[in-house]
């Protein structure tokens, strides 16, 4: 069952004004086909926007463009507004002020995201003090609080550990805590449960849902697994070949998928019950034939 929207925690005025608004975003590397085409998305405080699609559909690149971390050879057009301020065309120093304290990201590979030769406390302290002016004592207090928020036990041991001394699930929790310690308003989570077992995946998703509600974060949760997104997302956007092909409340999209690609993604979810599970081949579609679909919220549902 999808998690209910945290509408009670967010005012109607906040809900009408997205904290991040992406309009007609295009990312081009000069090849025969643009990597991201005409993408428009909104992120609201206290909500999780799930972005689904197979590898190469433009999910991660959309998030990187918003953060100003797209490859240097990428040509980016359109509009990305954070708290009403246009980010496309902004200087690197202006973008740097937004990263960390305004928007942050957790990546799918903790092995490469965490420095293997620096203890966890030092890594988190460097990230915090690069974005927030605070003393060493204040930094430690915030770090401990962030680690407690992601339900890590034996925080003192974690602080003095190197990444290789922690399990994959613990490293992912550290990454979430590191992303949150600077007090960011937006969290991009790129395949945060990759290589984790099913039980740990559930725990990580529950933590993301918990901190979203408690901190009124705006979260973009990226995954190829539409079944995982269905469990925690308030809104859902499906991307195919660089385009958003279907959007709407997560429950509505899952219950009544209208686009053939969304239907294929949902059909590919493994099921315990049933006569058999067949291999689902992703369709090759003509965009002129299938227009993007949007599911309006049901009456009385945000």
Instruction: Count up the domains in the chain and report the number.
Output: 2
Report pTM: 0.86
Structure-derived torsion over alpha carbons of residues 19, 25, 29, 35, reported in degrees to the nearest 10: 100
Chain segment 265-282, per-residue pLDDT in tens: 888 777 766 555 565 666
Give residue 48's pLDDT band: very low, low, confident or very high (50, 70, 90). very high
Cα–Cα distance measured from residue 86 to residue 286, given in angstroms and rounded to the nearest whole number: 32
pLDDT of residue 209: 93
> Which backbone phi and psi does 97 adopt, to 5 degrees?
-65, -30
Q: Do 81 and 220 reside in the same domain of the chain? A: yes
- Terminal C-alpha separation, the chain: 16
Q: Do 82 and 98 reside in the same domain of the chain? A: yes
Residue-averaged pLDDT of the chain = 86
Q: Is the residue at 123 inside a domain?
A: yes
Q: Do 186 and 97 reside in the same domain of the chain? A: yes
Q: Which residue has the higher pLDDT, 59 or 101?
A: 59
**Which positions ≥6 away from 13 have C-beta within 8 Å?**
none
pLDDT exceeds 80 at position 162: yes
Strand partners, 50: 221, 236
pLDDT of residue 7: 40
Q: Do 84 and 196 reside in the same domain of the chain? A: yes
Per-residue H/E/C for the chain: CCCCCCHHHCCHHHHHCCCEEEEEEEEECCCCCCCEEEEEEEECCCEEEEEECCCCCCHHHHHHHHHCCCCCCCEEEEEEEECCEECCCCCHHHHHHHECCCEEEECCCHHHHCCCCCCHHHHHHHHHHHHCCCCHHHHHHHHHHHHHHCCCCCHHHHHCCCHHHCCHHHHHHHHHHHHHCCCCCEEEEECCCCCCCHHHHHHHHHHHHHHHHHHCCEEEEEECCHHHHHHHCCEEEEEECCEEEEEEEHHHHHHCCCCHHHHHHHHCCCCCCCCCCCCCCCCCCCCCCCCCEECCCCCCCC
Q: Do 200 and 288 reside in the same domain of the chain? A: yes
Q: Are strands 243-249 and 20-28 parallel, antiparallel or unpaired?
A: unpaired
Q: Do 187 and 268 reside in the same domain of the chain? A: yes
Chain segment 216-254, per-residue pLDDT in tens: 999 999 998 888 898 899 999 999 999 999 999 999 999
The pLDDT of 186-203, averaged and rounded, is 85
Q: Around Cβ 57, how many Cβ atoms within 10 Å? A: 25
Q: Which of 78, 145, 103, 136 is nearest to 19 (CA)?
A: 103
Q: Do 177 and 222 reside in the same domain of the chain? A: no
Q: Is the residue at 301 inside a domain?
A: no
> Which backbone phi and psi does 83 adopt, to 5 degrees?
55, 40
Q: Do 98 and 52 reside in the same domain of the chain? A: yes
Cα–Cα distance measured from residue 127 to residue 153, given in angstroms and rounded to the nearest whole number: 22
Q: Do 207 and 262 reside in the same domain of the chain? A: yes
Do residues 176 and 154 make contact, with C-beta atoms less than 8 angstroms apart?
no
The residue out of 181, 211, 240 marking a domain boundary is 181
Q: Is the residue at 6 inside a domain?
A: no
Cα–Cα distance measured from residue 131 to residue 97, given in angstroms and rounded to the nearest whole number: 8
pLDDT exceeds 60 at position 27: yes
Q: Is the residue at 299 inside a domain?
A: no
The residue out of 153, 181, 209 marking a domain boundary is 181
The residue out of 181, 201, 235 marking a domain boundary is 181
Q: Is the residue at 2 inside a domain?
A: no
> Which backbone phi and psi does 261 adopt, to 5 degrees?
-70, -45
Q: Is the residue at 259 inside a domain?
A: yes
Q: Is the residue at 302 inside a domain?
A: no
What is the domain extent for residue 171? 108-181
**Which positions ≥6 away from 161 have C-beta within 8 Å?**
119, 120
Q: Do 37 and 97 reside in the same domain of the chain? A: yes
Q: Do 91 and 229 reside in the same domain of the chain? A: yes
Q: Do 205 and 163 reside in the same domain of the chain? A: no
- CATH number, position 224: 3.40.50.300
pLDDT of residue 292: 80
């Amino acid at each position: 069952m999808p998690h209910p929207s945290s509408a009670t925690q967010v005012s109607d005025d906040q809900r009408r004004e997205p904290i991040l608004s992406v309009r007609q975003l295009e990312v081009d590397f000069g090849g025969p086909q643009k990597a991201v085409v005409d993408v428009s998305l909104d992120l609201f405080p206290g909500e999780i926007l799930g972005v689904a699609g197979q590898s190469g559909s433009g999910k991660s690149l959309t998030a990187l463009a918003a953060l100003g971390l797209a490859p240097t050879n990428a040509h980016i057009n359109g509009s990305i507004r954070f708290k009403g301020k246009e980010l496309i065309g902004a200087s690197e120093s202006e973008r740097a002020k937004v990263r960390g304290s305004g928007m942050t990201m957790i990546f799918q590979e903790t092995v490469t995201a965490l420095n293997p030769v620096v203890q966890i406390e030092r890594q988190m302290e460097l990230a915090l003090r690069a974005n927030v002016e605070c003393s060493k004592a204040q930094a430690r207090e915030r770090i401990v609080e962030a680690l407690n928020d992601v339900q890590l036990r034996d925080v003192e041991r974690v602080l003095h550990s190197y990444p290789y001394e922690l399990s994959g699930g613990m490293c992912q929790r550290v990454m979430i805590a590191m992303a949150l310690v600077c007090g960011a308003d937006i969290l991009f989570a790129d395949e945060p449960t990759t290589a984790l077992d099913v039980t740990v995946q559930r725990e990580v998703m529950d933590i993301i849902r918990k901190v979203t509600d408690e901190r009124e974060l705006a979260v973009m949760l990226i995954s190829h697994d539409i079944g995982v997104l269905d469990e925690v997302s308030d809104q859902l956007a499906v991307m195919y070949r660089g385009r958003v092909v279907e959007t709407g409340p997560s429950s509505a999209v899952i219950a009544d998928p209208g686009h053939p690609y969304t239907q294929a993604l949902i059909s590919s979810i493994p099921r315990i019950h049933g006569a058999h599970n067949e291999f689902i081949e992703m369709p090759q579609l003509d965009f002129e034939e299938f227009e993007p679909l949007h599911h309006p919220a049901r009456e009385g549902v945000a």
